[in-house]
A and B are shown apart, each in its own frame.
Chain A
Amino acid sequence: MLLILLGVPLGAAATLAFVGDRKFAPEINILGSAATFMAGIGLAVEVYMQGPMLAGGKFFFVDAFNVYLSVLTAFVSMTTAIFSRRYMRREREHGRVGHVGMRFYHAMFQLFIFAMLLCLLTNNVGILWISMELATLSTVLLVSLYRTPTAIEAAWKYFILCGVGIAQALFGTVLLYFAAEKVLGEGGDALLWTNLSRVSGSLEPTVLSLAFVFLMVGYGTKVGLVPLHNWLPDAHSEGPTPISAVLSGLLLNIALYALVRCKVLVDGATQTHHAGNIMMGFGLLSIIVAAFSLLRQKDIKRMFSYSSIEHMGIATFAFGLGGPIATFGALLHMLVHSLAKSAIFFTVGHASQMHRTQDMDRIKGLFRGSPLVGWGLMLGVMAIVGMPPFGIFTSEFLILTATMKDAPYLTPFLLLGLGVAFAALIRRVQSMTAGEVPPYQKPLKVAHLPVVLHLTLVLALGFYMPDFLNTWFHTAVELLK
C-alpha cells in the first residue's frame, strides 16, 4: 500500500508530462490525486489495524506521527487538484499561462506531491533531506509560472534562499551521521530513523547539539521561521493560487515534520531542553513578527502568507515547549491549519480572479456579488484567527494552556501575537466581504466543493475528535516525548 501511495503520484507526473496541455489533463490530475488519496486511506487503515510498520527493506517507515500527515497531504492535494481544474483553465484563457506552462504545471504538481510523500514516509534521514530539496526544486519553476518580473524575482529568491538554507540542514545531517556511525557502524543503516531513535541515548551529545543548530537553520528556513522567512511571502503570493495553497498548507508542515523528527533524536542524546528552547525562541519570534507584518499588507495572498508564518510559529513553539498537552496541540494545529489555510487560498483565488487583482483595496462586496465565495472567505478567516467552535480554537487553546502551565512568563507574548493577528485579519476581511459590488467584479463559476469540505472538517474537529485521530495523536505524543 505504501509503495502504491508513492508510485501513483510519480506515475501521474510522468503521464501528465506526456499528455501535456490536452483538454483532459486536469481530469487526469484529479484522478491521480484521488488515487493517491485512496492509497493514503488504505495505508492509514493498515497502520490503524497493525500499528507502526516498516516497508521496502526498512527503507520506508510509517508510525502515528507521519501517517496522519500523509493522509492530510494526499487529501489536500486532491482538493487542490479539483480547485485548480477551473482555476487554471481560466488563467489559460486570460493568457497568463501558455501551452508549455500548463504541461509543466500538471507534471510538476504531481512530482511535488510525490516529493512530499517521500519526505514523510522515508525512514532514512538522508533521503528526508533529498526529498525536501526535490520538493523545493519542483515548485521553484511553478512559482515563476506567470513569468512576470515579480514572479521571477520571487522564484529566484525562493530558489537561492531555500537552497542555501537547506544546505545547512545537509551539513547537520552529515554531523548526525558522523555521530551515528560510531554507534551503529557505517553504511545506510546508520541513517535510518528507527535505528537512530533506538540508540539516541548513546549518541554523542556535543555533536548532536551542533548538528541541531544546522538542522534548525536548514529546515527552519523551509518552515518559514523568522528571521529566515524572507522568501516565503514572495513565493507564496506570486505563484498560481493552487500552488500557494499547497505550499502554505502542506510544504510548511512537511518541513516542520522533518525538524521535529530530528529534534527527537537530539533530545534523546542531550537529555536537556536545549533544542526545545531554540525552537520556542524561533517560534515566538515568528508569531510576533508575522502578526505585526499582517497589519501592513495590501496584497491578499501576501497577507495570508504571513498568517502561515504565524501559525507555523505557533506549532514550532508548541513542539519546542514539549509536554503532552502542547505536543498534542501542535499536532492538531498542523492538521487544522493546513485545512483552513488551503480553503482560504481557494476562496482567495476565486476572489482575485473575480476582481482580476490581488490588491485588497479593490476587492469588495463579496457577500453580495458571490455569497458562497464571500462566506467561504469570512468563515475561513474566522477559523484561522482561532474563533470557537473551529478546530484551530481547540489547538490554540491547548497550546495556551500548556504555556500558562510550563512557561507562564511567555503567555503575554503569545496572546499579543494572536490578538494582533486577529485584529489585522478581521479588519481586512470585513472590508472585502461587506459593501456594494464594484462594477469591475465579474461573477464566476467556481468549484465550491473543496472549500466547503475543508471548512466542514475544521469545524467538525472543533467539536469532535475521531477515535483513530485521538489514538494516533496520543501515540505520537509518546513518541515525541
Chain B
Amino acid sequence: MEGNFWSLAPWGRGLGEGYFQYSDMNLHIAAQINSFLAALVLLTAFGMLVQKRVYGLIHLFAWQGVFLSLNTAIVGFVAGKHHLYISSVLTLSLKVVLLPYILHVLINRLRIRKEVETIVNIPMTMMIGIALVIFSYHLTAPVRELSNLVTRSTLAVALAVVMIGLLMMITRKHAVTQIIGFLALENGLFFAATSATYGMPLVVELGVALDVLIAAFIFGIFFFHIHTTFDTLDVDQMARLKEGD
C-alpha cells in the first residue's frame, strides 16, 4: 500500500482503512478542507516568491496567516483540541493584523520604493520552488507513513513552505522582503506543528509567539538603523565585512 502514487495524495490513505475513530464523513470532509487550506498556504508561498511589490507581499503574507489560522481552528475542532483555538486566535491577531500593520507603518514612514527586485529570474525561482516541494514530499515520506492523524499529508506542504521561505530570503536583497521571507518560514513551522502533531504544547506555542513578537520589534528598529546608516534598505549595500587578505 505504501509508496504507490495514491499514498502521496492527501486522501490516499484514510478511505476505508479504519483510521477514523468516529464519524468517517466528518473527518473525511475535514481532511479535504485541511488539504485545501494547505494548498492555499502553498499557493500564497509561491505567490510571495514572485511578487515584486512590497505591499503585495504584505497582503499575501496576511492571507497566508488567514489560511493558517482557519486551518488551525478546523483541526482544533475536528480533533477536539481546544488549545488550538488559542493558537488560531494568536495567529490571527499576530500574523494577520499586527505584523502586517507594523510593516505598513514602517514602509510608509521610511518611504520605501514600491518595487523590489529578485536576483534569480522568476521562472528559475519558480522551478526551484517546485523542486523544493517535491524534495519535501520525499523527505517527509517516512514520517507520513507513521502518522495516523487527519492532517498528516500536509506535513510535506509545511516543510515546502519553510524551504520556500528560505529560498525567498536567499533570492531577495531587500531588508523588508527578507523579513517577510523569514516570517513566511515561521508560518511554515507553525503549520508543521499543527499538521504533524495537532500543535505543540501550549507553553511552547505561546513562547514561540512571544519570540516572533520580539523579533518584530527588533526588525522594526533595524529598518530605521539600516535606513539612517545606509540611506536604503537594499542589503546589497551591506558588504563591508569581508575577509581581509
Please list the residues of chain A having a beta carbon within 8 angstroms of any beta carbon in chain B: 124, 126-127, 129-130, 133-134, 137, 140-141, 144, 147-150, 152-157, 159-160, 163-164, 167, 170-171, 173-175, 177-178, 181-182, 186-188, 190-191, 204, 206-207, 210, 234, 238, 293, 296-299
User: Pick the contact of B241 from A171, A234, A293 — CB < 8 Å?
Assistant: A234
| Cβ-based interface call for B192 (8 A) | yes
Q: Please state if A167 and B185 are interface contacts (CB–CB under 8 Å).
A: yes
What are some 16 contacts across the A-B interface (CB < 8 A)?
A: A126-B207, A127-B203, A134-B211, A137-B215, A137-B218, A152-B238, A167-B162, A173-B200, A174-B192, A175-B143, A178-B143, A188-B201, A191-B204, A206-B142, A207-B143, A234-B241
Within 8 Å CB of A149, what residues of B? 229-230, 238, 240
Q: Please state if B243 and A296 are interface contacts (CB–CB under 8 Å).
A: yes
A127-B207, A160-B169, A164-B166 in contact; A174/B189 too (CB < 8 A)?
Answer: yes
A164-B169, A167-B185, A174-B196 in contact; A130/B208 too (CB < 8 A)?
Answer: yes
Q: How far is the CB of A426 from chain B (nearest CB, A)?
A: 20
CA distance A130 to B225 in the complex (A): 26
Q: How far is the CB of A401 from chain B (nearest CB, A)?
A: 34
Q: Count B interface residues, CB 8 Å.
A: 48
User: Pick the contact of B189 from A155, A167, A293 — CB < 8 Å?
Assistant: A167
Q: Please state if B142 and A210 are interface contacts (CB–CB under 8 Å).
A: yes
Residue with the greatest number of chain A CB neighbours at <10 A, chosen from B189, B198, B211: B211
What is the chain B residue whose CB lies nearest that of A207?
B143
| Cβ-based interface call for B244 (8 A) | yes
Within 8 Å CB of B226, what residues of A? 152, 156
| Cβ-based interface call for B214 (8 A) | yes
What is the chain A residue whose CB lies nearest that of B202?
A188
Main secondary structure of the interface of A (DSSP, over half): helix
User: Pick the contact of B214 from A134, A144, A170, A297 — CB < 8 Å?
Assistant: A134
CA distance A250 to B146 in the complex (A): 39
Q: Please state if B197 and A177 are interface contacts (CB–CB under 8 Å).
A: yes
What is the chain A residue whose CB lies nearest that of B228?
A147
User: Pick the contact of A126 from B200, B229, B235, B238 — CB < 8 Å?
Assistant: B200
Within 8 Å CB of B142, what residues of A? 206-207, 210
| Cβ-based interface call for B11 (8 A) | no
Q: How far is the CB of A460 from chain B (nearest CB, A)?
A: 37
Within 8 Å CB of A177, what residues of B? 193, 196-197, 200-201
| Cβ-based interface call for B182 (8 A) | yes
Q: Please state if B189 and A170 are interface contacts (CB–CB under 8 Å).
A: yes
A156-B235, A293-B243 in contact; A144/B225 too (CB < 8 A)?
Answer: yes
Q: Please state if B244 and A297 are interface contacts (CB–CB under 8 Å).
A: yes
Within 8 Å CB of A134, what residues of B? 211, 214
Within 8 Å CB of B225, what residues of A? 144, 147, 152
CA distance A357 to B198 in the complex (A): 54
Within 8 Å CB of B73, what residues of A? none
Within 8 Å CB of A150, what residues of B? 240-241
What is the chain A residue whose CB lies nearest that of B139?
A210
Q: Please state if B192 and A156 are interface contacts (CB–CB under 8 Å).
A: no
What is the chain A residue whose CB lies nearest that of B243?
A296
Q: Please state if A210 and B203 are interface contacts (CB–CB under 8 Å).
A: no
Q: Please state if A187 and B196 are interface contacts (CB–CB under 8 Å).
A: no
Q: Please state if B203 and A207 are interface contacts (CB–CB under 8 Å).
A: no
Within 8 Å CB of A144, what residues of B? 222, 225
Closest 4 CB pairs of A and B: A126-B204, A130-B207, A153-B238, A188-B201
Beyond known contacts A130-B204, A140-B218: 10 more, CB 8 A cutoff: A130-B210, A149-B238, A153-B238, A156-B175, A171-B189, A174-B197, A177-B193, A177-B196, A187-B201, A298-B244
| Cβ-based interface call for B186 (8 A) | yes
What is the chain B residue whose CB lies nearest that of A133?
B211
Within 8 Å CB of A297, what residues of B? 244
Q: Please state if A178 and B207 are interface contacts (CB–CB under 8 Å).
A: no
A126-B203, A186-B198, A299-B244 in contact; A210/B143 too (CB < 8 A)?
Answer: yes
| Cβ-based interface call for B219 (8 A) | yes
A126-B204, A156-B226, A191-B204 in contact; A207/B146 too (CB < 8 A)?
Answer: yes
CA distance A477 to B61 in the complex (A): 47
CA distance A478 to B169 in the complex (A): 42
CA distance A191 to B202 in the complex (A): 11
CA distance A42 to B208 in the complex (A): 31
What is the chain B residue whose CB lies nearest that of A163?
B182
Within 8 Å CB of A129, what residues of B? 204, 208
| Cβ-based interface call for B43 (8 A) | no
Within 8 Å CB of B166, what residues of A? 164
Q: How far is the CB of B225 from chain A (nearest CB, A)?
A: 5
Q: Please state if A159 and B198 are interface contacts (CB–CB under 8 Å).
A: no
Q: How far is the CB of B75 from chain A (nearest CB, A)?
A: 13
Q: Please state if A127 and B204 are interface contacts (CB–CB under 8 Å).
A: yes
CA distance A137 to B239 in the complex (A): 22
CA distance A296 to B245 in the complex (A): 6
Q: How far is the CB of B159 from chain A (nearest CB, A)?
A: 7
Q: How far is the CB of B137 from chain A (nearest CB, A)?
A: 14
Within 8 Å CB of B211, what residues of A? 130, 133-134, 137
